[in-house]
Amino acid sequence: MYRTFADYLRSLDDASLERLFALRPDLISPTPPDYAALSVRANSGPSIARVIDSLNAFELQVLEALLVLEEPIKVKELEKITSASARFAYAKFEDLALIYEGVIPTQVRESIGAEPAGLGPRSLTKLDLKKLNDAPESAKKVMSALCWGPPRGSVGDIKNPGPGIAWLLEHHFVVPLDQRHVVMPAEVAIHLRGGKVHKDLADKAPELDGKKYNQSDIDRAAIANISNVLRWCEELLNFWGETAPTALRAGGVGVRDLKEVAQHLGVSEGCAAFVAELCYLSGLVAIDADETIAPTNSFDIWLTQDFETKWRNIVSLWLITSRVSGLVGRSDQKFSALGPELDRVSAANIRSRVLEELRSNIELSPSIGSFTERMKWLAPLRRGANLRDDLVKWSLEECEWLGITGLGALSTFGAELLEGDEELGVNAALPTPIDFITIQSDQTAIAPGPLQHELAVEMSQIADIESRGAATVYRFTESSIRRGLDHGKSSSEIIKFLTRISKSSLPQPLDYMITDTARKHGQLRVGAIHCYLRCEDPSVLSEILADKRIDVALRQIAPTVLVSDFDIEEVLNVLRSNGYLPAAESAQGILLSSPHNKRVKNRPKPPRIVGEIEPPTAEAIASAIRAIKVGEKSTAKQSQLRNSGAIPRTTANETLEILNKNLNRTLSIGYADNNGGVSHRIVDPQQIANGVLLARDHSSGELQTFKIIRITGVAPL
């Protein structure tokens, strides 16, 4: 038996430490200075909670069973109250350092709770459990109520408890807690449960069921999803580049702005929030200093990249993020896309487990019910357990939106990305962008495939997208033509553009609508007073004044001029939303009709990642083991020096000479603090400059600066 957990860790060989650090990467993030610090970290509450969350339902049951056994725990005793499979879970617990030499650390017990598996504490006296067979009927009723937990019961008065409880108290089958409560010892409950701790052992994971698909069908559906999600990102960023919304005071996108984005993309609000979060994670959109939400300059670079690079980047960030877009729009709490409150500690872990299950069931589109039940067994989370089922559902939904899955099953593209392949085949699988449309007589145009980027941007300025899919349907309206005119296009330029890319001739009604809209566009003009409205036709201004929908505090100062206290952008938006066709003008009366593609000025801050630690590489683990062993020797050496009182003493010249001769070699120094006290330090000198020594302190493992004037002495080790 080892005296302490730190002593046990010191006894482990390199192979055991490698397994421990691979299973619990938080123990070497950052690397502890010695075994004592490693012991404290391994038994800390957050670290124990993280490792317990990694256990499946059966392993949790075995761990609960361990807590009711006497230490040192024997594997045979564990198997008696569980099953023969428990020995494999016990071996895993040893690798995880949840148990050592049959002893369970105190913090593990506290993390599970005081009543594991609904069992009370062990009895302090020896019990004759055979007498339970002779228990009176009233006592059997009490035992039946307490058998499967909770083990505590209430009584009216412990001095006059009734015949059943009195008999149990007499034989110590229940123990008084206070004047009104009793508790059943664990040994009694286990005996009543037939020698087992749990009624049903969850020693097998529930099987997945669902529908099988051919991989070719899955990949066709997935590539359509990939095309959609990339188009959604581009359309959202172009939309916010033109009509940049203002962030909420608490941060994030407002409900009305999110609805507008969803309507523009033709998707649900949940999907729109997900797309916005993808752009936020990728640094393609940010919140400016003036609270404006707009694309960043990275978006312009993103547009030049090929499809596979774009898709790989957004999926790679989605895999590791702790942000959960599915929370947006929940009725119980108000969460907003891009807001600060979307981080959830278990999100990436659940996402990883979902993908692992999909990889293990190729060509299977699992039913949500069977998948949820399996995840309950694989991840019976304590932290975030109330969100587990939702996180599973959202993860599957987001996999489909991203094209990681198609028809609900893992696609080849998703599998290759998870494997880390360099070539995914996305570019080859996506259809080649086309350079033409077909204009129909009902003011619509059909693009039978994805348009080239430049043409898609032009079409989005002069037409509204009515439906999406393999073919995109655009509709021309007065407001969409006005939008094109606002971007600096003339009627002749719009007609020329449509004539050039259309496979059919331009219908006469569409020609008339473009010409008529252009004629009226700019007839009404808005300038800054806070702003004014100017129109050569007084009847138009009279109509606006009489329109009760135009609530922007207008007043007339001349037959052809109205003024408002509202901002020019707000007046323009109100007029346009109510069917008028105003145009902005400068102070000199010049028509302002140029494209407005806003970009944020400040650099985007990548959202933080909460709760997950990257698995360490073999090199990182080996380096950590070396550092801990060196630190252990250093700690022991410092203790010897401290106990002996042998603080190095050298003159100033000797100190400088020894330091210069022993750069990058371990030295013992005496160092005076602000109060004049001198302490021992073991350091590795790195550099001397301007009267300061830069050295790695063995006690902390970090680079620190030491003023040479305060070094009382130096001695090589």
Q: Are residues 658 and 716 in contact, defined by beta-carbon separation less than 8 angstroms?
A: yes
pLDDT the model gives residue 471: 77
Q: Are residues 187 and 252 in the same domain?
A: no
Q: Is the pTM of this model over 0.75?
A: no
Q: Are residues 311 and 397 in the same domain?
A: yes
Domain boundary among 69, 90, 117: 117
Mean pLDDT (whole number) for 466-475: 77
Backbone angles phi, psi at 96, to 5 degrees: -85, -5
557: in domain: yes
Backbone angles phi, psi at 674, to 5 degrees: -65, -25
Q: Are residues 338 and 293 in the same domain?
A: yes
Q: Are residues 225 and 267 in contact, defined by beta-carbon separation less than 8 angstroms?
A: no
112: in domain: yes
620: in domain: no
Mean pLDDT (whole number) for 202-209: 88
Helix spans in 267-306 (H): 269-281, 297-303
pLDDT the model gives residue 644: 57
Task: Name the pLDDT band for 142 (thresholds 50, 70, 90).
Answer: confident
Q: Are residues 298 and 445 in the same domain?
A: no
Q: Are residues 397 and 477 in the same domain?
A: no
How far apart CA 125 and CA 620 sit, in angstroms, is 51
Domain boundary among 85, 117, 149: 117
Closest CA to 446 of 372, 378, 501: 501
pLDDT the model gives residue 611: 62
Tell me the residue range of the domain where 495 lies.
438-519
Backbone angles phi, psi at 284, to 5 degrees: -85, -15
Q: Are residues 340 and 404 in the same domain?
A: yes
pLDDT higher than threshold 60 for residue 596: no
DSSP classification of residue 551:
-
Residues 6+ positions from 208 with CB-CB distance below 8 Å: 357, 361, 364, 366, 367, 370, 371, 374
Side chain identity, residue 458? E
Domain boundary among 429, 464, 494: 429
Mean pLDDT (whole number) for 5-33: 87
Q: Are residues 273 and 402 in the same domain?
A: yes
Q: What digits encode the pLDDT tens for the residues 148-176?
A: 878 888 887 787 888 888 888 888 888 88
When divided into structural domains, the chain yields a total of 6
Q: Are residues 532 and 411 in the same domain?
A: no
Q: Are residues 241 and 390 in the same domain?
A: yes
Q: Are residues 368 and 462 in the same domain?
A: no
344: in domain: yes
604: in domain: no
pLDDT higher than threshold 70 for residue 668: yes
Q: Are residues 45 and 165 in the same domain?
A: no
Q: Are residues 530 and 514 in the same domain?
A: no
630: in domain: no
Q: Is residue 582 classed exposed, middle or buried when 0-12, 13-18 and 19+ CB atoms within 10 A define those classes? A: buried
124: in domain: no
594: in domain: no
Q: What digits encode the pLDDT tens for the residues 623-648?
A: 888 888 877 776 666 566 555 556 77
Q: Are residues 244 and 294 in contact, defined by beta-carbon separation less than 8 angstroms?
A: yes
pLDDT higher than threshold 80 for residue 494: yes
pLDDT the model gives residue 640: 62
Helix spans in 124-214 (H): 137-147, 163-170, 186-192
pLDDT higher than threshold 90 for residue 404: yes
Length of the chain: 717
